[in-house]
Amino acid sequence: MEIQVMKNILGENDRIAAENQAMFRDKGVYVLNLMGSPGAGKTSVLEKTMEHLKDKLSMAVIEGDLFTSKDAERIDKYGVPVIQINTAGGCHLDAAMVQKAAASLDLAALDLLIVENVGNLVCPAEFAVGEQEKAVVLSVTEGADKPLKYPLMFKEAAVALLNKVDLLPYCDFDMQGARDDITALHPGIEVIELSCTKGTGLDAWCEWLEERARR
């Protein structure tokens, strides 16, 4: 019975996600679902993305969090529209939440909408929200074993951002091993080494994003 209930939940979510995707496509906005564990640096990546692209693209952000609006407040200072979704303990955003939040945005005026999902390496990969593509942020402080422990996240993502590489000298992180595992799980995935503190990889990341937003 639990299996059937889960199938029903996922089926309804997929239906709404398809509606969202059609709406986003009709409005000409590229939507990215940004995922990763708590503390991986998703919001820091977003902040640097706003800095680099806010004068090149029309952007908005939907922020997912359990309870607070702290991440949305960080993004708001960059002058881009930001909508906060609080899940009240839920471990992921779903398509209905994003549909409701998107109704507050002028989608036709946007080139890029980034949905920062709740910090979690499991559930967000299972629930589409209507995005064109997914991205996963993995901090080197989390360990190189995470791709094989949480394979669906990396199989679903179009790009993996290996974040906080400035901390590599202080971490036991096998960069080549992590890259090999990620590309074995998802051949063709883009893997970008990133440091929001030092600026490493930010140009490559923003170029990847801008190319898709302008298609």
**CB-CB contact of 46 with 67 (8 Å):** no
E strands in 49-184: 59-65, 82-86, 112-116, 133-139, 159-163
Q: What average pLDDT is seen over the chain?
A: 93
Domains of the chain: 2-213 (3.40.50.300)
- The single-letter code of the amino acid at 32 is L
**CB-CB contact of 42 with 123 (8 Å):** no
pLDDT digits (tens, 9 = 90+) for 84-95: 998 877 889 999
pLDDT digits (tens, 9 = 90+) for 131-174: 999 999 999 999 999 999 999 999 999 999 999 999 999 999 99
pLDDT band, residue 68 (cuts 50/70/90): low
- Alpha-carbon distances, residue 4 vs 8, 9, 95, 126 (angstroms): 6, 9, 20, 16
pLDDT of residue 76 exceeding 70: yes
Which residues lie closer than 8 Å to 188 by C-beta, 6 or more apart?
Answer: none
Instruction: Specify the higher pLDDT residue, 75 or 46.
Output: 46
Phi first, then psi, for residue 100 (nearest 5°) are -65, -45
pLDDT band, residue 1 (cuts 50/70/90): very low
Strand partners, 32: 114, 133
Decide: helix, strand or coil at residue 69: coil
Q: How far apart are CA 92 and CA 151, in angstroms?
A: 17
- Only one residue has tokens 């920062």, namely 116
Which of 127, 124, 84, 123 shows the shortest CA–CA distance to 105? 84
pLDDT of residue 61 exceeding 60: yes
Once rounded to an integer, what is the mean pLDDT over residues 164-193?
A: 98
For β-strands 159-163 and 133-139, DSSP reports them as parallel
Strand partners, 31: 113
Once rounded to an integer, what is the mean pLDDT over residues 57-63?
A: 96
